[in-house]
Amino acid sequence: MKQEHGMTLIVKTVTRISVWLILLYGCYIIFHGHLTPGGGFGGGVIIALALLNVMLAYGREFTSNWLNIKLLHDVESSSVILFLVVGIFGMALGGAFLYNFLDHGTLFHLISSGTILPLNILIGIKVAMSLFLVVWVLSAVKEEKGDAE
């Protein structure tokens, strides 16, 4: 079989199945951040590793057709702006910056503890996009062999 980019056929087949499971596991860790250890940062790193798995197994060209790199960049910037907007809402409604203004709910349920769940999701998105884009940009320098920024 003629191989152009990326790794062998076995790696590509296993990646095609397992990438969705890794993404699901990352989302589980983000969503249960207020009940079990983990939270935004740990879950975000796992999602970034899933996307990097695709990039390593299939090569850069296939990944840039599958994902929209410009969209990832915009999502990353807007998640930080949304985090600061949630904080400013806390200032307007409660008393201080990042005040917990939503309903606290009952203990040990998934939708509980106020604004901790949305903030965890925003941090998870930001960390995932950042780590993936950092490794993406660093690996572009070797191929172009010139003055890449």
Partner 1 sequence: MIIPYFIIIPLLAAFIISLIAGDKDEWAVILSTIATSFLLILSVFSFATMQNETIVYEMSAWKLPYGIVLVQDALTSFMLIMVSLISLTSILFSVSYIRNISEDWKYYSLFMLLVAGMNGVIITGDLFNMFVFVEISLLAAYSLVAFGNRAEEFEASFKYAVMGSVSSTLVLIGIAVTYSVTSTLTFAQISIEFQNVDHDMKMWIGGLFLAGFGLKAAAIPFHAWLPDAHSSAPAPISSMLSGVLIKILGVYALIRLFFNVFNAPDFFLTLFLLLGSVSMIFGVFLAIGQWDMKRLLAYHSISQMGYILLGLGLGTPLGILGGVFHLFNHALFKSLLFYNAGAVETVAGTRDLRKLGSLFKLIPITSQTSMAASLSISGIPPFNGFFSKLIIIIAAVQAGQPVFAFIAVIGSILTLASFMKVQRYGFRGEKNVEIKGEIDWRMNLAMITLAVLCLASSLMIVPGIKEVTLDPVVSVIVGKVSSIQSILGR
Partner 2 sequence: MIVYILCFALILIGLYGVLTKRDLIKIILSLGILGYSVHLLLILIAYRKESLYPILSEGKKVVSMVDPLPQALVLTSIVIELGTTAVLVALAIRLFEKYKTYDITEIRRLHG
Question: Applying CB under 8 A, does 96 fall inside the site for partner 1?
Answer: yes
CB of 39 to partner 2, least distance (A): 8
Residue 77 binds which entry of partner 2, partner 1, none, with Cβ cut-offs from 5 to 8 Å by kind? partner 1
Give the per-residue SS3 of the chain: CCCCCCCCHHHHHHHHHHHHHHHHHHHHHHHCCCCCCCHHHHHHHHHHHHHHHHHHHHCHHHHHHHCCHHHHHHHHHHHHHHHHHHHHHHHHHCCCCCCCCCCCCCCCCCCCCCCHHHHHHHHHHHHHHHHHHHHHHHCHHHHHCCCCC
Question: Applying CB under 8 A, does 146 fall inside the site for partner 1?
Answer: no
Residue 80 binds which entry of partner 1, partner 2, none, with Cβ cut-offs from 5 to 8 Å by kind? partner 1
Q: Which is nearer to partner 1, 23 or 98 (CB)?
A: 98
# residues near partner 1 by CB under 8 A: 20
Question: Applying CB under 8 A, does 86 fall inside the site for partner 1?
Answer: no
CB of 133 to partner 1, least distance (A): 12
